[in-house]
Structure 1
Amino acid sequence: MPELRIGYVLSEYPKVSHTFIRREIEALEGAGIPVERFAIRGSNEDLPDPADQAEAGRTRQVLASGLPAMLAAMLSVLVQAPRRAWRAFALATRMGWRGDRPIPVHWIYLLEAALIAKWVRESAVTHLHAHFGSNPAEVAMLAAELSGIGFSFTAHGTVETDNALAIKLPEKVRRAAFVVAVSQYGRAQMMRWIPFDDWRKIHVIHCGIGADFLEHEHTDAPDVDQFVSVGRLSSEKGHLVLIEALALLIEQGQSCRLVLVGDGPLRSAVEQRSRELGIERFVTITGWQSSEAIREWLMGSRALILPSFAEGLPVVIMESLALGRPVIATWVAGVPELVREGCTGWLVPPGNALPLAKAMGTCLRASSVQLAMFAKAGKNAVREAHDAKIEAEKLAQLLVSRNEVLIAEPAALRPTSQ
């Protein structure tokens, strides 16, 4: 049997907010499965984490290779396997028909896929796996069609289900060898949009964290009035509601500080709203930080707060609970699968500053005994379901079984060279 070699197809990689992908790749490689990294583009953000900097050197970027390289790769497929090239062209056109973007954009995806297909052949990749069911999954699907191998993808939540029909999610699932959902909620949301016969393809494999968090020495939650929120400063993350909640607490005479770790398009709005409410001195925005720095911010805070309007299942929740810090979060998507009211943290309705402020006050008044109970429950929950090594082993089993099935198929059923 040919050696299993996986090609990861990613839209933007490495990226600060995609540390979980790096951990997954590292865990697969630790299990003996070689992985090639194919990114449409590199990150336009600073990469403070040395591990991400190292990943940048291991990742081949499509757009950085230039249009001539993509055209040459497409021409090569047209010459060597014309029927396969025309099938991929027809598929790209169908994906654009009444799709999320105009048809010519999907032809560009085809050119990107042609270059990845060239790299697949050169690297002897046997299967492609994409993260996110939007354009990365389409590029992987087209590259698989051009190269004659299988593909799969991980769906993370709102990216796939907010616009499922426009991104042709049912077609992607139909053609995929299997699909990964990062939460039970995410799996159920995909089931809404695809035929019953394809439900069996969806497997829940959680995002995971590594030993740097799971095996970190335990310390009790500090007796401080500081909260931390980690993530991209964008509209769906609810930071403006968090600023309103902080203002309510301070207005009630509660001493409280908030650290926002991250950056993004909402930063200026958050800063402006903080000034309008007169609480700017209580708010710190750090910008993007390394994994080590994020760990230190979590360790030095009373709790993590995620006031999101929409989510999948954020990895930072796992990191916080692994370090023994409770979480205050909104009851959206897969979040309640890990944040359990009165057990590992507090859940509040999204978009409402008053209950969020109340939960923050409750957390500040919580006894050391209660916080210790939360810490124990949180650590156990993360170890059971979000160990990156264990979750990657589940993915490896799916990849290996897919490889075995492909080799075992009768020759007449295998993909042809065209």
Structure 2
Amino acid sequence: MHIAMVSGEYPPRWDGVGSVVYHLAGHLAQRGHDVTIITRTHKQPTPQQEGVKVIHVPWRKIPMAFTRSYGKHALAALRRLNTVKPVDVVHTLLPLVSWNEKEILWVEEHIAPVVSALNGSWIGEREGMKLAAKHQEAAPWKNPNDLAILLTAKHYAKYEQAALDASSLCVAISDSTRHEFERWYTPPEDWWCETILYGVDHLVFRPVNHDHEEDQLAHEAIRTTYGADDEAGLSGLANTSTPLLLAVGRLVARKGHRTLLRAMPSILEAHPKARLVIVGRGHMRGALMRQAKRLWVDHAVTIQPEMPLEELAQHFRSADLVVDPSYYEGQGLTALESLASGTPVVTVDQAPLTEMIDESVGGLFRCGDADDLSRAVVASLDDPEGRTAQAKRGRARVLDLYTYEHNAAAYDAMYAVVTQ
């Protein structure tokens, strides 16, 4: 089968959707399919995979408007591709590609069935920003992308609505995302929508092998860099007195980093040598560090920019606990990357995170509540034996349910049905 995947993100854009499409395409190719990715141009080189071809198209570098610009160029590229090598199924990754109903119906009639993956929604993003503002996160107008979402989400939601109306099949990445579309959009009466939660690369995101010299040295380097380097921490023991906390996500309001920082004084009161590392790109780094200084916790906080995937994976596996305080996610892959790495996660008690995380593999706290966040973190750090058990159960959960092998098999079955 020849599968055309239309995705606005693809490596070297490794964010969320880009990473998912890269791994899903590779696993579909391993299952014997030919896969063509149609994505946006980028200055950096694109990693190659056997059986996967990548076509780059231009796009206007304007917040939100790029989805329509890219969508038009992607459609033209899809038409050309189909004349050279007929396409059997078109897999679009919403919301980063904007096609209207007429365009989708044309693809359905002249090229192939359209499977639209619902990776969260513009209205959901907007509502997440409002919730973050309510809890004193950064103002949306400070970030051009956030401001664009706040002002134009309703306009661009019409392209998502077109996908609901005209696609052969929609696939939501969580039950929570599906419910968003049922609540804020108008699915047709005969709407066909399945739910497939994305997996993670369990070979990249894996626990530390302390018996492997290279692994152990890399672990020690991470712990030493952040001062989380007592003997137990360097040995990978859960009863460390220098616990390393990790938060991964863009430095934007809806990721909840301010709430996490407000929790740090109480966390440090209980565990004075704890250290927090935040990894992400965005406009808020200076503001977050100023907040940390005002709270007298800046000595225990480090904010790192984006980093290569393997380096990020090393941070996941060397941390004692991952904290995810996000106000909105389509699914929330950070939590699964943590579990795959053998690291428990403390996160918000709301969907979609609760579709993957419960107290058997981590902890939950009330969204936006810094006091409850610190309670959940301290309770986890106070129970090293419990965290060790959670780490094992979390890794097992990922291998049982959340891998790209699972995703490729599920999509393969969906493609077979829509192309009958």
TM-score (ref. length: structure 2): 0.76
Please state if 1:187 is matched with 2:178: yes
More helix by share: 1
The structural deviation recorded for 1:286 is 2.1
Which of these two proteins has the greater Rg computed from alpha carbons?
A: 1
SS of 1:258's partner is: strand
Partner of 2:157: 167
CA contact (8 A) 1:134 1:167 kept: no
The answer on whether the counterparts of 1:121 and 1:147 sit within 8 Å (CA) in structure 2 is no
Q: Give the Å deviation of 1:385.
A: 1.8
CA distance in 1, matches of 2:92, 2:9: 11
What corresponds to 2:6 in structure 1?
9
Determine the structure 2 residue equivalent to 1:371: 387
Q: CA RMSD in A?
A: 3.1
Q: Identity of aligned pairs, percent? A: 21
- For the 8 Å contact 2:6–2:93, the answer to whether it is kept is yes
Q: Does 1:198 align with 2:190?
A: yes
Compute the displacement of 1:119 (Å): 2.7
Alpha-carbon shift at residue 306 of structure 1 (Å): 0.6
Structure 1 unmatched runs, 5+: 67-99, 406-418
Alignment map for 1:299-338 (pairs within 5 Å) = 299-338=317-356
- Do the aligned residues in 2 keep the contact of 1:328 with 1:347 (CA within 8 Å)? yes
Residue 126 of structure 1 deviates from its aligned partner by 2.3
Q: Following the alignment from structure 2 to structure 1, what is the Cα–Cα distance between the partners of residues 415 and 24?
A: 13
Gap runs ≥5 in structure 2 = 126-152, 211-235
352-361 vs 283-292, which moves further: 283-292
Number of corresponding residues: 356
Residue number in structure 2 paired with 1:288: 306
Which amino acid is the alignment partner of residue 296 of structure 2? G
Contact (CA 8 Å) 1:113, 1:142: kept in 2 or not?
A: no
Give the AA of the match of 1:334: P
CA distance in 1, matches of 2:106, 2:98: 10
Partner of 1:357: 374
Aligned partner of residue 329 in structure 1, secondary structure: strand
Secondary structure of the residue aligned to 1:332 is coil
Q: Does 1:212 align with 2:203?
A: yes
Q: How does 1:6-405 map to 2 (within 5 A)?
A: 6-14=3-11, 15-17=13-15, 18-42=18-42, 53-54=47-48, 58-63=53-58, 109-136=71-98, 141=104, 144=107, 147-159=110-122, 161=124, 163=153, 166-168=156-158, 169-192=160-183, 193-195=185-187, 197-199=189-191, 201-213=192-204, 222=238, 223=240, 224-251=242-269, 254-340=272-358, 342-368=359-385, 370-403=386-419, 405=420
Deviation at 1:109?
4.2
| SS of alignment partner, residue 8 of structure 2 | strand
Output one character per residue of 1:312-364: Cα deviation in whole Å (capped at 9) or x when no partner.
22222112112221101112331001110x21111111222111111111121
| Offset of residue 111 of structure 1 | 4.8
* Matched position secondary structure for 1:316: helix
One-letter amino acid of the counterpart of residue 375, structure 1 = A
Equivalent residues of 1:214, 1:322 under 8 A apart = yes
Q: Which amino acid aligns with 1:383?
A: L
C-alpha separation in 1, matches of 2:93 and 2:331: 14
* Gap change, CA 1:60 and 1:105, over 3 Å in 2: closer
